[in-house]
Amino acid sequence: MREGSFVRGPYNQPVTRVLLVDDHELVRQGVAAMLLKADGIEVVGEARTGREAIEATRRDLPDVVLMDVRMPDMDGLEATKKIKEERPRTAVIMVTMHDNPAYLRDAVRAGAAGYLLKDVSKEELVDAIRQVSTGGAFIESKLLRGMLSEMKPAGPVASAAKNLTKREREILGLVAEGLSNREIADKLVLSPETVKSHVAAILEKLNVSDRTQAAIYAVRNGLVDATAL
């Protein structure tokens, strides 16, 4: 369980704490209303600007931040970078009106797990929050591989990466290829639950919030050959 997820809901299930960030009050109200009756999700705070989002994250300790891209004072991309520097295990979902791969690349490089369009349905929104709160991500594997292929190792392997077992490094490489837990399980002849446990351990050891950021970490630290993806 990630920091901030200690509240329990019905049936003793952990509650995912969500922070809403948008400079339009009506948008925040609409999203809050959509999430009001979603099981296991609680809106713990709101912010109007990027700077307010950073302060609210420190104060409210959300598990997931729904972050608008364009805001006054500080935009969502810069706010995401700063939030991830302070709380790398907090997952950020960028929310935008623009269906543009360039936005997604910028968002993921800033530390986001992916992004949603503002006309998203309640079901899609709830599913996205639940995915990232458990280490998942929602980015097309082809787009992820293309983005990773443009990156180069930033330096020597970080000490955290050295704690990975041989099996975890193998699974991390497949995560970087964009494979799901089921696809990894089939490839390695393991059960999906075993793969899920390995992925959770990888996220914990690398101190990242989701699969996408784990893949980026792997490339930047030379754990995965991006040219082979």
pLDDT digits (tens, 9 = 90+) for 71-113: 988 999 999 999 999 999 999 999 988 777 788 888 888 999 9
The larger pLDDT score, comparing residue 146 to residue 19, is at: 19
Is the pLDDT at 182 greater than 80? The verdict is: yes
Of 187, 210, 88, 39, the residue nearest 138 (C-alpha):
210
What whole-number distance in Å separates Cα of residue 208 and Cα of residue 214?
6
Q: How confident is the model at residue 14 (pLDDT cuts 50, 70, 90)?
A: confident
* Averaged pLDDT, 185-201: 97
pTM: 0.85
Tokens found for residue 133: 């709160």
b/e code 32-54 from CB counts within 10 Å (16+ = b)? eebbeebebbebbbbbbbbbbbb
Neighbouring-strand partners of residue 21: 47, 67
Note the pLDDT of residue 1: 36
Eight-class DSSP state of 157: P
The runs of H, that is alpha helices, within 39-165 are 50-60, 76-86, 101-110, 122-133, 141-149
Please enumerate in sequence order all residues whose Cβ is within 8 A of that of 9, keeping only pairs 6 or more positions apart, or say none: 15, 39, 40, 42
CB atoms within 10 A of CB 201: 16
Note the pLDDT of residue 2: 41
Q: How confident is the model at residue 8 (pLDDT cuts 50, 70, 90)?
A: very low
What average pLDDT does the structure give for the chain?
88
How much of the chain exceeds pLDDT 90, in percent?
Answer: 65
How far is CA 167 from each of CA 9, 35, 163, 211, rounded to the nearest angstrom? 34, 38, 11, 16
Q: How confident is the model at residue 196 (pLDDT cuts 50, 70, 90)?
A: very high
Is the pLDDT at 30 greater than 60? The verdict is: yes
Q: Which domains does the chain have, with CATH numbers?
A: 10-136 (3.40.50.2300), 143-228 (1.10.10.10)
Q: Sheet of 91-96: strands edge to edge? A: 41-47, 16-21, 64-68, 91-96, 114-117
Residue 5: what residue type? Answer: S
Is the pLDDT at 6 greater than 80? The verdict is: no
> What are the pLDDT digits (tens) for 130-143?
999 999 887 777 87
Q: How confident is the model at residue 11 (pLDDT cuts 50, 70, 90)?
A: very low
Note the pLDDT of residue 158: 67
Q: How confident is the model at residue 13 (pLDDT cuts 50, 70, 90)?
A: low
